[in-house]
Amino acid sequence: MFEVIFLQFLNGLDKGAAYALIALGLTLVFGTLGVVNFAHGALFMLGAFCAVMFRQFLTLETVTIDPTQLSPWGAPLEIREPLVQAWFGDFGAILVNYSVPASILITIPIMLLIGIALERGIIKHFYKRPHAEQILVTFGLAIVAQEVIKSIFGPNPIPQPMPTDLRGAADIGAWLGMQANVITYPLWRMIYFLFSAVVIGGVFAFLQFTTFGMVVRAGMADRETVGLLGINIDRRFTIMFGLASVVAGMAGVMYTPLLPPNYHLGMDFLVLSFVVVVVGGMGSLPGAVAAGFLLGILQSFASMTQIKAFFPGIDQIIIYLVAVIILLVRPRGLLGRRGVMES
Amino acid sequence: MANFMSRNDLFLFLGFTIVVLAMPIWLAPFGAGYPDLLQRFMIYGIFAVGFNILFGLTGYLSFGHAAFFGVGSYAAVWSFKLLTLDAIPAMIFAVVISGLFALIIGFLSLRRSGIYFSILTLAFAQMSYNLAYSVLTPITNGETGLQLTLSDARVLDAAMGQTLVGQPVPTLLGQQLSGYAGFYLCAGFLILSFFIAQRVSGSPFGMMLKSIKSNQTRMQFTGFNTRPYALSAFVISGMYAGLAGALLAVTDPLAGAERMQWTASGEVVLMTILGGVGTLVGPVIGAWLIKYFENILSALNDQILANFWSFLPEGAADLMVQVTGKFVGDGWFLTLGLVFVLVVVFLPGGVMEGVRRIAATLKRSGTPDSKSRQTQPAE
Amino acid sequence: MTLLKRGLSRRRVLQTGMAGIIGTGVAPMIFTKGAWAQEFCNNPTGDTVTIGLNLPLTGAYAEEGADELKAYELAIAHLNGEGDGGLMNVLTPSALTGNGILGKKVGYVSSDSQTKSDVARAGATRMIERDGAIMITGGSSSGEAVAVQSLCQEMGVIFMAGLTHSNDTTGKDKRRYGFRHFFNAYQSGTALGPVLSNAYGNDRRAYHLTADYTWGWTQEESIKNTTEALGWETVEAVRTPLGAGDFSQFLTPVLNSGADVLILNHYGNDMVNSLTQAVQFGMRDRQANGKDFQIVVPLFSELMAKGAGENIKGIYGTSNWHWNLQDAGSVAFTKSFGAAYGSPPSQAAHTCYVQTLLYADAVERAGTFYPPEVIKAMEGHEFDGMGNGRTLYRAEDHQCMKSVLVVQGNDAPTSEYDVLNVVQEVDRETVNYDPSIFGGELGPAEPVPVCA
């Protein structure tokens, strides 16, 4: 029984890592800019498609048609020559193999640009407007983003293979000095968990230890006073929106080998991530992270047959149920402050 | 408010009635004059009018209204299965059940406000949807959707000695409700719903709801408990949704879980905003626009586009087919998204604000009339 | 917009007017059905006949939907005498002329069903009411098929189901106006049993992950019955939410459950995800109970197999049809489809293509579009040459009885489409069953309801 529970806990951490990452970005935007961003799921999806785009670029092929030969289904035979391998040889092959982690390098600037453009172009005009309108405009933007992706990449999921060396399961039990082949867990999922831990730690360190972060934290607490001190808080907020986009995008990139992305990915995560943020308490960064892991672990345990035998269908509703209970019992979420988002 | 209805209200109501009843005629040239779409115009019109009573008047943004819509559908179909194929008991049953459901969810959700309220309603609706799709299959028939069969009990019909040949379909006092008969039934209910909404919004109760929107804190400081008012609005709009769901089941007796999904809740939000939140006619117009474009834009394919652009030279025509093709067919949602963003950014009052602005411009350029039109028609 | 308009017929105007009067409760009850004795829904009076394609172009089964659309376009071209004629040349017996249906040119309208029952029904209604479709066909899920089938019964329009695998479609939810060419979960179980026994022996412990909706349940039940009859033990059958995306929380408990076979009752993207993730969990490199751990996917499609990539290698499942079969019909269809679209057809494309031809053939044999006559022509009709051997459209439940393929993921694919190998063609007698075991009632064909 121990190994079953341990594995389920591990699985909860791994699911929670994704939730926490998405909720973190959402909270950054809300906490600093005071904007409820329904387009955050779309940013996660756009990040995933950066990986797709990068891989499609790396796997470009020259296609020559040989009309003298026919394929078994009667079309002229196509001979495909991968370009990157042709140009770069082995290095090209390695690059293709590691395309998912490598695409983080292009994701960061792309997502930063998208984030800044969004903030300057549209979000900026909504700081003073009611939260309901912020929700609506970002919801509309999310629809536009997903439909644009659909018309470029089609409606079907596009699988992103993980690097060959990182496939399969790691024998965690053996690492910890237990019996071999009892506690095994997919290697990439472990990497995802570590990755999210690093990103979360990085964001916290950035806010805690840099002057920039200090000003932003001050701005979160009292925007007007910081403005009066002559600090250009707006520019910093733009950068914060870009940063949140980057966090969402990176979370999306690393998730692609686990779940082939399609245009709808963002909407699937949107509802979930809002529930996470609200459970954590609107505007609280530690709350978002804690709630992400908490809900991941609860969801994982609720999916066990032993639990489902007592509560049929609990795995389908656990996240929402927890959200309802927490909101009714602790109105401001786990770690939320008073007076946030209540009018 | 001495007389029963002010002149403006009466004109609005009569105009609305005429426009609705004449729809099969004036919509035919737009390719929308067929009963199924007309029924949907009516049904989603009712849904949006009801949603507006909550969102438009009190400002509470619910993201879970599709749940009441779905509950209404299920209740109606169960009434067809167990009691009788007549539509009247089904609709009463549906409105009562969805009202009760709204009472419970509203009672819990209204303990919070702002986005917390939105998330609570969203969570309740998603739970309903997920359960309806899976564990509750004995009640909802899950993915397949709840439908009528020959072997259903239909206690009342059996007691009246009625037997059936063929696929059972709902009736109203013996009259079948598919096609235009169904449309006129739904139209009647839309007009009734509109009338009730008009009365509500002009009544002291409506004023109370509007003051919740404008300043709840101040209301509470004066020692006034706003929650019963908000809850009433929530239940009323839940019953509207239930009625709409029941009508959808009356005209097409199948209830599927998908109509409870959160995207369906999102759709009614889009309708209300697009048409003009807080106005009486706006939500209905929003519902019509979205349903129209959903049915018409999504049915356009490359062949039709090629015909449309055929007056251009060949290269340009192909290009235009390519470009416009992205916005119609299964890409119509992109068009909707873009329009929606533009509306929220530039025209927060929706189509109705656009109409008002145009009217104001015309008035300014025309005769210097009085400013009487500036006041809300409902006041 | 005038392009979209179908013009008001005189009957339609009359109906509109009358229904208006009745709807407002003024008219006496003289309006009964059957007032037009020989009229029926969308009786084609011009020189064209329209069929309505209800296809999932978005949603979980979008890939199937796109392939189905290609198949319909091809079938319609062939019926109109364009292209190489495809399967029209090999269907026996055949009443097809290559000059449309009953001399009327075939056209189509389509609707995106989004893989949702509600939307599918609305789309079908639109195509019947506005576009005048004489027959509705397509779909890629059983929920859609059952929902649209009962609508068509109400409207008096024939429905030729596309891909639907649930036992219910021709079982408890069967309808007089609905016909299914595709096989079902029960037949999958019967066909798969002996192959599984051969490959993995009779002493196995199976763990099911099942999509939590009707199709998943019927397949789980059918496969469980089969494997338990072999002597396998069922350790656990776990229901997973449809479209869960990440199945890891359901896969983790499999590892130490004592099971040595994982059976995935998933389809579409769910199957691609759950299989890929199961392989990431190392399940194919695992040992359990001293045996190699195995995965079985009872219903395969080559489109899913393509999506799952190399994870599919060596995995057993069943299919309705596969393009590298070597009979004349399969070869002809693959050639014809490949030449038109540059890729081989999927089983979804095949079943939709065949359904279109079978409908046209039945109309030709009946000599009329009048649905009850067409139904009679189809019921009990036996034919050959469509790639599945001799096939019977069973009168009792409108299920096509034909051979079923057991397939296995290809270990050494020669192209991206060469993903499955046919292991065995299980003949029609073996997968035969008594239609009464699933209950249901077809209902009457007449009186024909007249749609609006």
Single residue among C260, C285, C319 that ends a domain in this structure: C319
State the pLDDT at residue B306.
Answer: 76
Residue A336 lies in a domain: no
Query: Rounded to whole angstroms, how far apart are CA atoms C149 and C154?
Result: 9
Inter-chain residue contact C334 with A74, CB threshold 8 Å: yes
Residues C253, C157: one domain?
A: no
Inter-chain residue contact A8 with C252, CB threshold 8 Å: yes
Residues C305, C329: one domain?
A: no
Three-class SS state of C367: coil
Inter-chain residue contact B130 with A316, CB threshold 8 Å: yes
Inter-chain residue contact B296 with C57, CB threshold 8 Å: no
- Nearest beta carbon to residue A305 from set C59, C236, C344: C236
Residue C30 lies in a domain: no
Query: Rounded to whole angstroms, how far apart are CA atoms C86 and C337?
Result: 8
Determine contact, residues C169/C193, Cβ cutoff 8 Å.
no
CA of A73, closest CA in chain C: separation in Å? Answer: 5
Query: Rounded to whole angstroms, how far apart are CA atoms C401 and A255?
Result: 44
Inter-chain residue contact C250 with A303, CB threshold 8 Å: yes
| Count: domains in chain A | 1
Determine contact, residues A328/A284, Cβ cutoff 8 Å.
no
Q: Does C157 touch chain B (CB under 8 A)?
A: no
**How many beta-carbon pairs under 8 angstroms link B with C?**
163
Name the phi and psi angles at C111, rounded to 5: -150, 140
State the pLDDT at residue A340.
Answer: 56
Give pLDDT tens digits for C72-92.
999 999 999 998 888 988 998
Residues of A in contact with C343 (CB under 8 A): 73, 75
Q: Is the pLDDT of residue C5 over 60?
A: no
Query: Rounded to whole angstroms, how far apart are CA atoms B219 and C230?
Result: 72
End-to-end CA distance of chain B: 9
Neighbour count for residue B18 (Cβ, 10 Å): 10
Inter-chain residue contact B28 with C8, CB threshold 8 Å: yes
**How many beta-carbon pairs under 8 angstroms link A with B?**
118
Residue A339 lies in a domain: no
Inter-chain residue contact B61 with A143, CB threshold 8 Å: no
Higher pLDDT pick, C293 / C289: C293
Give yes or no for a cis peptide into A157 (omega within 30° of 0).
no
DSSP code for A337: P
- Nearest beta carbon to residue C150 from set B147, B151, B176: B147
Inter-chain residue contact B130 with C122, CB threshold 8 Å: no
Inter-chain residue contact A331 with B326, CB threshold 8 Å: no
Q: Out of B72-81, B154-163, C126-135, C241-250, which region has the weakest mean confidence (pLDDT)? A: B154-163
Residues C53, C171: one domain?
A: yes
Residue A341 lies in a domain: no
Q: How confident is the model at residue C160 (pLDDT cuts 50, 70, 90)?
A: very high
Inter-chain residue contact C110 with B176, CB threshold 8 Å: no
Residue with tokens 């292009």: A106
Determine contact, residues B23/B38, Cβ cutoff 8 Å.
yes
Q: Is the pLDDT of residue C361 over 90?
A: yes
Query: Rounded to whole angstroms, how far apart are CA atoms B191 and B49?
Result: 11
- Nearest beta carbon to residue B123 from set A131, A275, A282: A275
Neighbour count for residue C319 (Cβ, 10 Å): 22
Residue with tokens 């002996």: C194
Where residue C98 falls (left for φ over 0; alpha for ψ -120 to 50; beta otherwise) is: left
Residue with tokens 């969570």: B123
Question: How many Cα atoms within 13 Å fall on the side-chain side of residue C9?
Answer: 14
State the pLDDT at residue C451.
Answer: 67
What does the block give as tokens for B129?
Answer: 């949807």
Residue A197 lies in a domain: yes
Q: What is the DSSP string of C50-113?
A: EEEEEE--SSTTHHHHHHHHHHHHHHHHHHTT-TT-GGGGT-BS----SSSBTTBEEEEEEEE-
Give pLDDT tens digits for A276-294.
888 888 888 899 999 999 9
Substitution target from C4, C32, C55 for chain B, most B beta carbons within 10 A: C4
Task: Find the mean pLDDT for residues A53-71.
Answer: 83
Single residue among C302, C319, C336 that ends a domain in this structure: C319
Give pLDDT tens digits for C416-451.
888 889 999 999 999 999 999 998 888 888 878 776
Determine contact, residues A281/A339, Cβ cutoff 8 Å.
no
Residue A258 lies in a domain: yes
Give the β-pairing of A76-82 and A61-70.
antiparallel
**For C254-367, where are the E strands, in sequence order?**
261-265, 287-288, 291-292, 294-299, 316-319
Of C314, C288, C283, nearest in space to C205 by CA: C288
Question: How many Cα atoms within 13 Å fall on the side-chain side of residue B316?
Answer: 6
Residue C370 lies in a domain: yes
Single residue among C264, C289, C319 that ends a domain in this structure: C319
Query: Rounded to whole angstroms, how far apart are CA atoms C123 and C111?
Result: 6
Q: Is the pLDDT of residue C38 over 80?
A: no
Structural domain for C243, as ranges: 186-319
Query: Rounded to whole angstroms, how far apart are CA atoms A67 and A61?
Result: 18
Name the phi and psi angles at C357, rounded to 5: -65, -40
Residues C378, C305: one domain?
A: no
Task: Find the mean pLDDT for residues C128-155.
Answer: 89
Inter-chain residue contact A125 with B113, CB threshold 8 Å: no
CA of B199, closest CA in chain C: separation in Å? Answer: 23
The residues, ordered by sequence, that sit 6+ positions from B53 with a Cβ below 8 Å of its Cβ are: B197, B200, B201, B209, B233, B236, B237, B240
Residue C176 lies in a domain: yes
Query: Rounded to whole angstroms, how far apart are CA atoms C12 and C22?
Result: 15
Residues C289, C361: one domain?
A: no
Query: Rounded to whole angstroms, how far apart are CA atoms A219 and A211?
Result: 12
Give the β-pairing of C158-161 and C205-211.
unpaired
Residues C56, C166: one domain?
A: yes
- Nearest beta carbon to residue B165 from set C239, C441, C444: C444
Query: Rounded to whole angstroms, how far apart are CA atoms A125 and A137?
Result: 11
Determine contact, residues B351/B285, Cβ cutoff 8 Å.
yes
Rounded to 5 degrees, what angle do the CA atoms C132, C134, C139 make? 100
Inter-chain residue contact C143 with B143, CB threshold 8 Å: yes
Substitution target from A5, A13, A73 for chain C, most C beta carbons within 10 A: A73
Q: Does B256 touch chain C (CB under 8 A)?
A: yes
**CATH number of the domain encompassing residue C226:** 3.40.50.2300
Q: What is the DSSP string of C334-352?
A: HHHHHHHHSSPPPHHHHHH
Task: Indicate the residue type of B229.
Answer: Y
Three-class SS state of C420: strand
Q: In this structure, what is the dihedral angle of CA atoms A142, A147, A152, A156, given to the nearest 10 degrees?
A: 100
Q: Does C257 touch chain B (CB under 8 A)?
A: no
Q: Is the pLDDT of residue A207 over 70?
A: yes
Residues C336, C378: one domain?
A: yes
| Count: domains in chain C | 2
Residues C264, C221: one domain?
A: yes
Task: Find the mean pLDDT for residues C145-169.
Answer: 91
Give pLDDT tens digits for B80-132.
999 888 889 999 999 999 999 999 999 999 988 888 898 899 999 999 998 88
Q: Does A334 touch chain B (CB under 8 A)?
A: no
Residues of B in contact with C452 (CB under 8 A): 34-35, 178-180
Residue C378 lies in a domain: yes
Inter-chain residue contact C117 with B144, CB threshold 8 Å: yes
**How many beta-carbon pairs under 8 angstroms link A with C?**
123
CA of C337, closest CA in chain A: separation in Å? Answer: 8
Q: Is the pLDDT of residue A337 over 80?
A: no
Residue C429 lies in a domain: no
Give pLDDT tens digits for A124-161.
888 888 877 888 889 899 999 999 998 899 888 888 88
Residues of A in contact with B348 (CB under 8 A): 129, 133
Residue C415 lies in a domain: no
**For chain B, where are the E strands, in sequence order?**
146-147, 171-172, 175-176, 254-255
Determine contact, residues C203/C258, Cβ cutoff 8 Å.
no
Query: Rounded to whole angstroms, how far apart are CA atoms C100 and C82?
Result: 10
Determine contact, residues A38/A241, Cβ cutoff 8 Å.
no
Q: Where are the domains of chain B?
A: 35-284
Q: Is the pLDDT of residue A174 over 90?
A: no
The residues, ordered by sequence, that sit 6+ positions from C152 with a Cβ below 8 Å of its Cβ are: C124, C136, C158, C159, C175, C177, C178
In terms of CA atoms, which chain B residue is nearest residue C30?
Answer: B175
CA of B233, closest CA in chain A: separation in Å? Answer: 18
Q: Does A343 touch chain B (CB under 8 A)?
A: yes
Q: Does domain B35-284 have CATH number 1.10.3470?
A: yes
Residues C287, C393: one domain?
A: no
Those of residues 115-154 in A touching chain B at CB distance below 8 A are: 122, 125, 129, 131-133, 135-137, 139-144, 147-148, 150-151
Inter-chain residue contact A343 with B217, CB threshold 8 Å: yes
Q: How confident is the model at residue C17 (pLDDT cuts 50, 70, 90)?
A: very low
ipTM: 0.86
Q: Is the pLDDT of residue C452 over 80?
A: no
Higher pLDDT pick, C128 / B303: C128
Residue A182 lies in a domain: yes
Residues C102, C118: one domain?
A: yes
CA of C123, closest CA in chain B: separation in Å? Answer: 9
Residue A338 lies in a domain: no
b/e per residue C53-63 (b: at least 16 CB within 10 A): bbbbbbbbbbb
Q: What is the DSSP string of A313-325?
A: THHHHHHHHHHHH
Mean pLDDT of chain A, nearest integer: 86
End-to-end CA distance of chain C: 22
